[in-house]
Amino acid sequence: MRKNLRRMALATALAGVTLGGFVANAFESGRDWRLTEGGYTAAPPAFTRFCLDYPEECRADGGAGELHFTADLHVELEKVNRVVNRAIVPAAPDGGVDDWRLDAAQGDCNDYAVQKRHALLALGLAPHALSLAVVRTPSQEAHLVLTVRTDAGDFVLDNLHEHVLRWDGAGYTWIMRQSERNPMYWVDLVTSGSGHARPSGAGLRDQGPTSLPAAVNSATAPGAVAGRR
């Protein structure tokens, strides 16, 4: 019994050290760990269908555009990432139709990402801080992840990674994501060839879209996210 208690105490202490280090590294001085957003772009068509099926997931209810990063927040993000990754069995879309679904028993990257956002919204996190993002993997596959904006930078919840990562540690080329101002609209992500954000200012967050309906429903929108992981 005493051995078990000692083991539990050691595990708790180690967890505290790990989380403390994670938070400290997140606030490393002299660096801005946020993704750089560009102008408005057309959303993936599958996202438009998702919003028609689940309108409550796409509301712009206000709230903070970023969260205060703490060890408690990190624990919540890790838990949601782990639970959803284990709950959904990887599978390609039925009949090749790429619909994004909540509460899916099996699915691809899209279903993992929307389920994680749904779970974090249920915990009370601000919708403006939670953005679905399209990336390209090293094998050049389109892939959907969830990004979380915090005052310590942007973090990624991903079905291809067991743990929550800072965006620049995921190994992806960043294409676009939901806008901070309104989750119905999407913005380009300004990246270099390596997939890292260029140190070129804060993007165009304060400019409105030139055509709001077209930004969501344009027939020339990029194809539905094709990740099949």
Mean pLDDT of 102-130: 96
Residue in this structure with the two tokens 């998702």, named with its chain if needed: 50
Residue 200: the pLDDT is 33
**pLDDT level of residue 60 (50, 70, 90 thresholds):** confident
Residue 205 has pLDDT above 90, yes or no: no
Please count the CA atoms within 13 angstroms of the CA of 157 that sit on its side-chain side.
32
What is the widest separation between alpha-carbon atoms in the chain?
66
Mean pLDDT of 164-171: 94
Say what the pTM is.
0.75
Tabulate helix, strand, coil % of the chain (nearest 5): 35, 20, 45
- pLDDT greater at residue 116 or residue 225: 116
Residues 95 and 179: their CA atoms lie apart, in Å, by: 31
**pLDDT level of residue 158 (50, 70, 90 thresholds):** very high
Q: Is the dihedral of CA 81, 84, 87, 93 positive or negative?
A: negative
Mean pLDDT of 145-165: 97
Task: Please state, for a pLDDT cut of 90, what percent of the chain lies above it.
Answer: 59
- pLDDT greater at residue 64 or residue 221: 64
Residue 43: the pLDDT is 96
Mean pLDDT of 143-157: 97
Tell me the per-residue pLDDT of 70-88, one tens digit each, with 9 for 90 and over: 999 999 999 999 999 999 9
Residue 18 has pLDDT above 70, yes or no: no
Residue 61: the pLDDT is 74
